[in-house]
Structure 1
Amino acid sequence: MMKYPIGIQSFEKIRINDFVYVDKTALVYDLVNTSAVCFLSRPRRFGKSLLVSTLENYFLGKKELFRGLAIEKLEKNWYVHPVFKMDFNGVVYKEKGQLTETILFYIGEWEKIYGKTPVNAPIGKRFESLLKQAFEQTGRRAVVLIDEYDKPILDVLDTPLEDVNRDTLKAFYSTFKSADDFLQFVLLTGVTKFSQVSVFSGFNQPRDISMNPDFNTLCGITQEELEHHFAEPIAALAQKYKCSLQEMEKRLKLQYDGYHFSDRLTGIYNPFSLLNAFINNRIDDYWYKTGTPTYLQVLLQHNHEQLNELTGRYYAPEMFVDYKADVEKPLPMIYQSGYLTIKDYDPESGEFLLDFPNNEVRKGFLTMIASGYLKTKEMEVSNWISDAIKLLKQGETRAFRDSLTAFLSSISYDSHGSVKSEEAAEKHFQYTFYLILRLLGENNCRLLNEQTQAKGRVDCILEFKNYIYIFEFKLDGSASEALKQIEERQYARPYLTDSRTIIRIGVNFSSETMTVEEWEEMR
């Protein structure tokens, strides 16, 4: 029976208790032998804390824990270094002084090992004294490992305390420059990379390995690792879902794969979702259900760009790599949080295509955006989508019409904001239906949105196993006019030889009631 390390971030515990461990130690060896000060950005629950724990045990010289792993043959010395590990998780930094208290707690613990430091000295200087004392006492340079370095800033994003916490961290991290003679290796991990004018400006710039091709598989699970380590649980899932191994592998890939962290485009699976699927023997949205980070919700509340203008586009790296604390431009945070990822690279322009990594993230993120935009609960959106899909699968168009009308009528008028002009009403209508249609298209059907054909552009086509729906929408027009457009422009022509039932639907919406006004269909 395989043991899956769900929620276990201790390398030592995983190894001693024989949990499954995907061997990343060859990359760890390469990292520590080619770098001095490094920074790694990865989404939450992607294995950053386990990486920090692995490095901690390596630098503490615990050779026995690495028996049978790649690094056992690579490392010859196994020197024991003083290790200073900080984890900013577990504390909420929304009160003034909380960050300083946390740092002082760590300093107090280290002083028990390496001796007291001047109490009246700045925090950074006290830390520098500790590093020097550790070096003098052990004869080995110190190792500093800081997990979730950015949490104290993310907790107070867009509040007056943001600058206070940033300055505190900046002063503390500046130690790495003045204490360089006493340092062997430094790693900072986090979700975001703040721009160089903020947190990192007080010391020599760390080597950012977040998009380095040599280390793009340092966290997460590759296709090769999946097939090597997890053949047994994949077979169990295939048996449960009554499909072939190949079909199950394809399903897992669509649901959890799709992350890329460099121009090498090596596919990476979300380890948290994948391991949860194996231990539960069920495919579900595990990563997304752990919750949307508060800092991302804050950013999206300020965002005036529509989602359909952000996804599926090429960007220069500077557009999404560094977060510059601009709440009106959320792209870097959305990317670094794992809701968008690299999907392609154009070497000629040096630009990257960003889009959703997989079905789990796409569905969850769209549900979150829709509920926020429409001022309704995520569960209400999710439940309506689920019911709507069942109706469309069965060809129950009248019931779907009634359901859509009721859902739109239930949306609070607060969500319509300042929809007063004709142009604003049309834009609100278009974006509302963009979100709804995208969500419908994430549930075992094929969505063709704004599909260009020879004689025009179809508003929406939804393809199911037994039905093909061709929608044309009008705002303050008429349903018959919409249906007539489908016929005159022959939107159904590409499907005339298709065995599925084709249903043409013309819908008219009212800008006054913001719901379905007229509905006409033809089969």
Structure 2
Amino acid sequence: MEYNALMRKLPIGIQTFEKLRKENYLYVDKTEFVWKMAFASNPYFLSRPRRFGKSLLLSTFEAYFEGKKELFEGLAIEKMETEWKKYPVLHLDLNAEKYDSPERLGDILSNQLTQWELKYGKGVDENTLSTRFSGIIRRACEQAGCGVVVLVDEYDKPLLQALGNDALLEDYRKTLKAFYGVLKSADRYLRFVFLTGVTKFSQVSVFSDLNQLNDISMKPQYATVCGITRQELIDTFTPELQQLAEANRLMWEETLAKMEAMYDGYHFCEFSEGVFNPFSVLNVFDGRKFSNYWFQTGTPTFLVEMLRKSEYDLRTLLNGIEAPASMFSEYRVEANNPIPLIYQSGYLTIKGYNERFQNYLLEFPNDEVRYGFMSFLVPFYTGVNNDDQGFYIGRFVEELESGDCDAFLTRLQAFFADFPYELNAKTERHYQVVFYLVFKLMGQFTQAEVKSAKGRADAIVKTPKYIYVFEFKLNGTAEEALQQIEDKGYLIPYQADGREVIKLGVEFSAEERNISRWLNVM
């Protein structure tokens, strides 16, 4: 029987494999990974951004190790598995709780242990969280006559929520160190262990005590274990892609290109195939409208505060960062480096690799994250709120497209005039960052570039009729800016273009903390 797209069920918010399969939701088949990892029997750790399919993956392992063969009918694993043996599964999910006090973590862990103790019993001398956990694993193994499977979803959620509160973070770190340490001492009773999370905290001794833990976060053979490849997108969702194309009056190839620009581009190791964000993919098919679905589910306020506190030069972040893996694959609280968390949270991804020096290039994965992140930054650096910035950016583009550069610069003056008082003493770099943000955001709607190398003007904007060449001078004159455009040959690349080229020399006054005057020459 064929189902049309209206009858097909998108698994938005469905994180339970059994429910997904029994209620006939669409499923991107990842069961070959499940069988291969289970066969190897290693204890695994996987870091991936939020809403990237980690919970569903663990739920798939749970169903597999519980021997629920009927749920895997028609999937890749059906041809690989022959025994379908049942194991005791201890599935700990730390994702959906609020961790705001020292007692909170202990209460949540204790509650989960109590549920397991009702099934496997409790020793009279097991009073601490770790001794209770150890006793449960041992008894479960002895009662079942086989090894125990331990699955931990979002192992780091308590630590992430405690960032910024050093005392609470240290308390949680000690609690989790002892609790997860059981997984090493109980090794003889274990069949399989899998921990997932967003970050790899270097201080939590899951990764020092548990030296047998296989971190697969950046290993090429697991690069697509979460997320959706281009082929998987086409194989699983062709009817939804066709409906999306119709709703947006696009051709098939245009729709795929738009999907790739908006939601593809995540790479978790060098030279790996890129994957789409599954949350955004499902939601764009449901809403039939291109929007920033994943970005809107969790705004990066804490990360932006870290950027400001560390005085990180945003232009470096927006333009791409070269870094060794050691810089971004583990997070150290005391390092005052926001890049690991920004990468692990999914706002940056691997876009290049220098084999000679073993450096990675980190950039925004796609347009959803690029423009979502930059729009989110604007209020922190200008005082212009999100509603107003949409008005500003749209009018900026319209004015340049119509050739009205005076109106553009007058509006840019108003943009700077909205800076709150506490920002008015900012450095030259702060204002350069704001210019950078403005032109980068205009890039959504027109060809706008800001200087990323020597020998180029501060900003170039290309519209259907005009090419604008901007040079800004802090405490210099508009005349000097225009002269620099001439002397440095900034116009040479555009002389044969056919569009009208407009030179703009702009003075920026440190005293007035705003654009003071400008000159334009056609």
- Residue aligned with 1:201, SS: coil
Question: In structure 2, what is the equivalent of residue 320 of structure 1?
Answer: 328
Structure 2 vs 1, CA of residues 434 and 212 (structure 1 numbering), >3 Å: closer, same or farther? same
CA distance in 2, matches of 1:459, 1:515: 17
Percent sequence identity over aligned pairs:
44
Deviations 1:125-180 (A, max 9, x none): 11110011111111121111111110101101121100000110010001001111
Whether 2:143 is the aligned partner of 1:137: answer: yes
Shift in alpha-carbon separation, 1:138–1:157, aligned structure 2, 3 A: same
> In the TM superposition, what is the alpha-carbon distance from 1:490 to its structure 2 partner?
4.0
Matched with 2:106 is 100
- The correspondence of residues 106-505 of structure 1 with structure 2, limited to 5 A, is 106-118=112-124, 121-159=127-165, 160-195=167-202, 198-293=205-300, 295-310=302-317, 311-326=319-334, 328-417=336-425, 419=426, 425-441=427-443, 443-450=444-451, 456-505=455-504
Deviation (angstroms), 1:21 = 0.5
**Larger deviation, residues 309-318 vs 469-478:** 309-318
* Paired residues of 2:102 and 2:168 also in contact (CA < 8 A): yes
The question of whether the paired residues in 2 share the 8 Å contact of 1:450 and 1:459 is answered with: yes
- Give the direction of change, closer, same or farther, for the CA distance of 1:205–1:303 in structure 2 (3 Å limit): farther
d(CA) in 1 for partners of 2:334 and 2:380?
20
Q: TM-score, normalised by structure 1?
A: 0.94
1:27-38 equivalences in 2 (<5 Å): 27-38=33-44
Q: Report if aligned partners of 1:111, 1:117 keep a CA contact under 8 Å in 2.
A: no
C-alpha displacement of 1:19: 1.2
| Partner Cα separation in structure 1 for residue 111 and residue 301 of structure 2 | 26
Q: Residue 294 of structure 1: CA displacement?
A: 5.2
| Alignment partners' CA distance in 2, 1:380 and 1:119 | 62
Q: How many residues align?
A: 514
Q: Relative to 1, partners in 2 of residues 1:452 and 1:148: Cα closer, same or farther, differing over 3 Å?
A: closer
- What letter is aligned with 1:516? I
CA RMSD of aligned residues (A): 1.9
Contact 1:35 1:207 in 2 (8 A): no
Contact 1:170 1:200 in 2 (8 A): no
More displaced stretch, 427-436 vs 36-45: 427-436
- The 10-residue stretch of structure 1 (333-342 or 237-246) with the greater mean CA deviation from structure 2: 237-246
1:79 aligns with 2:85: yes
SS of residue paired to 2:457 = strand
3-state SS of paired residue (1:247)? helix
For 1:438 and 1:119, the matched residues in 2 are separated by 62
Q: Distance in 1 between matches of 2:11 and 2:181?
A: 35
Is the 1:220–1:271 contact (alpha carbons within 8 Å) kept by the matching residues of 2? Answer: yes
Gaps of 5+ in 1: 420-424
How far apart are the structure 1 equivalents of 2:247 and 2:482? 44
Q: How big is each residue's C-alpha offset from its partner over 1:376-426, in whole Å with a ceiling of 9 and x where there is no partner?
A: 433433442233223333333232222211111011121244x4xxxxx33
Residues in 1 aligned to 2:124 and 2:512: alpha-carbon distance in whole angstroms:
69
Q: Deviation per CA, 1:480-512, whole angstroms, max 9, x where unpaired?
A: 332333344442232223233322222111112
**Deviation, structure 1 residue 293:** 4.4
How far apart, in 2, do the equivalents of 1:198 and 1:385 lie? Answer: 47
C-alpha displacement of 1:241: 2.9
Kindly tell me: are residues 383 and 147 of structure 1, through their superposed partners in 2, closer, same or farther at Cα, counting changes over 3 Å? farther
Distance in 1 of aligned mates of 2:482 and 2:500:
17
Please report how far the alpha carbon of residue 6 of structure 1 lies from its aligned counterpart in structure 2 after TM superposition. Answer: 1.0
In 2, the alpha carbon distance for the partners of 1:221 and 1:479 equals 51
- Pick from 18, 25, 31 the counterpart of residue 31 of structure 2: 25
**Structure 2 residues without counterparts, runs of 5 or longer:** none
Which stretch has the larger CA shift, 347-356 or 46-55? 347-356
Distance 1:451 1:318, change over 3 A: closer
* Partner SS state of residue 49, structure 2: coil
The separation in 1 between residues aligned to 2:187 and 2:492, in whole angstroms, is 70
Whole-angstrom distance in 1 between the partners of 2:485 and 2:214: 56
Q: Aligned partners of 1:303, 1:218: CA distance in 2, in Å?
A: 34
Please say which of residues 266-275 and 234-243 is displaced more in the overlay.
234-243
Question: Mean alpha-carbon deviation: is it higher for 392-401 or for 284-293?
Answer: 392-401
Q: Identify if the C-alpha distance between structure 1 residues 396 and 13 changes in structure 2 by more than 3 Å, giving closer, same or farther.
A: farther
Q: Which amino acid aligns with 1:201?
A: S
Q: Tell me the distance in 2 between the aligned counterparts of 1:23 and 1:137.
A: 33
**Amino acid corresponding to residue 389 of structure 2 in structure 1:** V
Aligned to 1:4: 10
**Counterpart residue type for residue 238 of structure 2:** A
Quick one: distance in 2 between partners of 1:359 and 1:486? 31
